Homo-oligomer: A and B are copies of this chain.
Amino acid sequence: MTQSTENSTPDQEQDTVTAALLVIGDEILSGRTVDKNINKLASHCTQIGIRLSEVRVVSDHSPAIIAALNELRARNSYVFTTGGIGPTHDDITAQSVAEAFNVPLLEHPEALAILEDHYPRGALTDARRLMARVPQGGQLVYNSISAAPGFMIENVIVMAGVPAIVDVMLDDVTPKLRTGKKLLSKTVQVHHPESFVANLLLELQNQYEGVTIGSYPYFRDGVIGTTVVMRSVDETKLNTAHQQLKNQLIETDKKFS
């Protein structure tokens, strides 16, 4: 057993399943590529009842990947990684994950068979064949778009960086994941600056334990306003808090939608 499964956290005992996302890629850090996987994974996790607790973006640098991965997998139910599993010299994720788990990186027979099946005869070059390597003990995560699989080892799910491939890999791996209570949310748009509702929200936050109240200012088309988002796994409590906020906004202002 690994450290992460031995030491179940209080959160896990309370039916909360957490995840971290490790985005691997110089291209995100240089600004060349706009990451699309953070929001994709955040939305997916919320939808299936996993709480995304943190995200890191690191460069294509093995020590950085290993350090981040070992820290994140020890304190989260799951760690997802995106990027760095292609056939080129800068694709060092599989090797880094193997080093993080201190296991060898081996050619996976089923992964090799998938690649052999995918490419025309003779087109499975040495470079492509590298994509069949999986850390010992890893299970394949299938990729219906470009064949080369990701993998899951213990609580770490290793995916490609291309967003469309992340979609199909999430489809494949999600049924295997333990999930917790879904975090529900209710939103209220307030046509006023945040400071207008600050005291009201503070009082509500103190009153409703188990409901997290977020306040997000916006400036759209020259209009200042605030989006209030209430989140809870307890639907009844969430509805009560939401109704109370709406009532109090009516009382204090009559101007909300």
Does A215 reach chain B (CB closer than 8 Å)? yes
Whole-angstrom CA separation of A164 from B51 in the bound complex: 28
A41 to nearest B CB, angstroms? 8
Whole-angstrom CA separation of A28 from B39 in the bound complex: 7
Task: Decide: A54 near B56, CB < 8 A? Known: A46-B31, A127-B199, A219-B145.
Answer: yes
Report B-chain residues with C-beta under 8 Å of the C-beta of A201. Answer: 88-90
Whole-angstrom CA separation of A208 from B214 in the bound complex: 49
Contact size class for A? 35 or more
Report B-chain residues with C-beta under 8 Å of the C-beta of A244. Answer: none
Report B-chain residues with C-beta under 8 Å of the C-beta of A146. Answer: 217, 219, 224
Report B-chain residues with C-beta under 8 Å of the C-beta of A42. Answer: 28-31
**CB neighbors of B among A48-84 (8 A):** 51-60, 64
Whole-angstrom CA separation of A125 from B88 in the bound complex: 57
Report B-chain residues with C-beta under 8 Å of the C-beta of A86. Answer: 194-195, 215, 217
**CB neighbors of B among A194-241 (8 A):** 194-195, 197-199, 201-202, 205, 212-219, 224, 229, 231
Is A213 within 8 A of B90, CB to CB?
A: yes
Contacts A87-B193, A89-B205 aside, 5 further interface pairs with beta carbons under 8 A come to A27-B214, A27-B229, A29-B52, A30-B231, A54-B58
Q: What are 14 A-B contacts with C-beta separation under 8 Å?
A: A26-B214, A28-B39, A30-B52, A31-B45, A31-B47, A31-B52, A86-B194, A90-B213, A90-B214, A125-B198, A127-B195, A146-B219, A162-B217, A164-B219
